[in-house]
Amino acid sequence: MSSSPRHPATALLPLLMLLALLLGAAPARAAGITCSSASMSELNFGNVNPLSSQTNATATLSYTCTNNDNQTHSALVCFHIGEPFGRQWNPRLMLAGSNTLQFQLYQDPGRTTIWGSLGFGSPTPRPIAIMLTRHTSTNGTATLYGQVFGGQTSVIPGSYTDAYQTVDTAVSVNDVAGSTAPTTCDTNFVGIYFPFTVSATVTKQCTVTAGSNLNLGTVAPTATNVAGNTSVSVTCSNTTPYYVGLLPSNNNTAGAGVMSGTGGNTSTVPYQLYQNAGLTTIWGNTATATNAGNGVPGTGNGVAQSIPVYARAASADFQPDTYTDTVVVNVNY
């Protein structure tokens, strides 16, 4: 009667001991290299003029990684940058409302290798090989190279940004024991992110180029109302209002100038500048950045716009000579 209760206890004890021995025999997994933090500085292009030239800028990635094992480890640490909201990645786009500005992020100063991600876009994350002896850490940096492309004639002036959030950046670590790092990036992300913002300001821009000389020709002293024309070329950023004024060398703001002869000739030939072929609307220099005055208004579209210029000399009854004057073209915007 007394032996029956003791059998389950004596049978259970060896089983518990065996389980403890099996658990104790399980091998421990090496910790290896882990990265605890990463951050990217802001990439600010400042004022840009994509009408005529590209603009370069840089930002700095900082990171901290540690070898938690008792032996040397090496790793290929890869930093991934996708594109917010799955937008296009080549070229990338900064936004100002519905307006866009094209740019790209690169790994190298030659700006040939896109800094991308194995998660989205260009499959080219930034790899960094590191080797750490037992229980050591490293703090490192890498440069992000940005470029706003030139030749973007349709870009509208404004403040543009592209904000990379935690979901757009990631870090992966391909770790091995020893002193030789792997050569491929791991596709498993480790939960470390480095959000940052790209920004640029497209400023209003205008350039002007004078055409050929306005030549009234060779005329007889009896000629009257001698007229001619030429053109000027104005290029302004898209949607930018501008107002063009013309100022003869005598600084007459009504566009009434005088041409001077050569040598000791003191004679001068008066002339008047006009906006139209009918020679009824004078062209002077009272235009401002907000008002045409007696100048010519226009709105930029990012490409050169040709504007005709007319002039007339009421009389040629002066000492025979070659008469000239210089007119300054002022573009106000």
Residue 48, pLDDT > 50, answer: yes
Residue 274 pairs in a beta bridge with 282, 310
**The whole model's pTM is what?**
0.84
Topology of the domain comprising 206-332: Immunoglobulin-like (2.60.40)
Using pLDDT thresholds of 50, 70 and 90, give the confidence band for residue 266: very high
User: How high is the pLDDT of residue 330?
Assistant: 98
pLDDT tens, residue by residue, 296-333: 999 999 999 999 999 999 999 999 999 999 999 999 99
Q: What whole-number percentage of the chain has pLDDT above 70? A: 91
Residue 196, pLDDT > 60, answer: yes
Q: Return the residue matching tokens 């989205």.
A: 120
| E runs forming strands in 195-319 | 196-202, 206-210, 224-236, 241-247, 256-260, 268-274, 296-299, 304-315
Cis peptide bond N-terminal to 91, omega within 30: yes
Which CATH number describes the domain made up of 33-202? 2.60.40
Could you tell me which residues come within 8 angstroms of residue 261 by beta carbon, excluding any fewer than 6 positions away?
A: 267, 268, 318, 319, 321, 322, 323
Q: How far apart are CA 202 and CA 118, in angstroms?
A: 32
On the question of a common fold for 33-202 and 206-332, the answer reads: yes
pLDDT tens, residue by residue, 205-245: 999 999 999 999 999 999 999 999 999 999 999 999 999 99
Q: Whose CA is closest to 229, among 281, 295, 275, 282?
A: 275
Could you tell me which residues come within 8 angstroms of residue 134 by beta carbon, excluding any fewer than 6 positions away?
A: 67, 69, 70, 71, 72
User: How high is the pLDDT of residue 186?
Assistant: 96
Sorted by where each begins, the domain ranges of the chain are 33-202, 206-332
pLDDT tens, residue by residue, 111-149: 999 999 999 999 999 999 999 999 999 999 999 999 999
